[in-house]
Amino acid sequence: MADQSSFDVTSNVDLQEVDNALNQARKEVAQRYDFKGSKASIEFDPKDSKLILVADDDFKLNALWEILQTRLIRRNVPVKNMTRGTVVPAANTTVRQEISLQQGIPSEKAKDIIKFIKDAKLKKVQASIQGDQLRITSPSKDELQEVMRVLREQDFGVALQFGNYRG
């Protein structure tokens, strides 16, 4: 029997990079003319993996999100892993929005990925859910590379990272 090769599929957000991007976005908001004299803030709760945007109105809230999104993309933080909540009215005629950061692969997405791998009809490839990540195993390293290729081409709604390769 041949040795099994494997790799892990994860979906994580680097919280330090998120914090760095937030600091850059706050500086830009402080300098922009359209935000002068307005209430606009970005708060970050790393324990709950949530961002809270506060602005005067929906228009400024969307502008704040665009600034933040640009900074996150420049720092290679996957924006796919962020879910925007509904805009709710807050104190002093402001609006707020919570944005949750997805850490790990949710179980329903993991099941979709496993189903996709099985439907791809790759020989001798096994996929298993291990907590909030997937482990893909196969005796053939070429098959594992093919799995990586097909997963990169498909959009599952979360950013996938491949690591922990064992040959």
| Domain boundaries defined on the chain | 5-11+105-166, 15-101
Would you say the CATH fold of 15-101 matches that of 5-11+105-166? yes
pLDDT of the residue at 28: 93
Give the model's pLDDT for residue 2: 55
The superfamily (CATH) of domain 15-101 is YajQ-like, domain 2 (3.30.70.990)
* Architecture field, domain 5-11+105-166: 2-Layer Sandwich (3.30)
Q: Quick one: pLDDT at residue 1?
A: 46
Q: Name the H helices within 90-161.
A: 107-119, 141-153
- The span from the CA of 153 to the CA of 167, in Å, is 23
pLDDT in tens, the chain (167 residues): 457 899 999 998 899 999 999 999 999 999 989 888 888 899 999 898 899 999 999 999 999 999 999 999 999 999 998 999 998 988 888 899 999 998 899 899 999 999 999 998 888 899 999 989 999 999 988 889 999 999 999 998 889 999 988 87
Q: For residue 101, what are the β-bridge partners?
A: 82
Start-to-end CA distance of the chain, whole Å, equals 15
Q: What is the pLDDT of residue 165?
A: 86
- pTM of structure: 0.82
- What type of residue is 67? I
Which amino acid is present at 117? Answer: I
For strand 50-55 and strand 41-45, is the pairing parallel, antiparallel, or unpaired?
antiparallel
Q: Is residue 129 classed as helix, strand or coil in its secondary structure? A: strand
Q: Look at the block and give the residue holding tokens 């482990």.
A: 135
Separation CA 75–CA 88 (nearest Å): 29
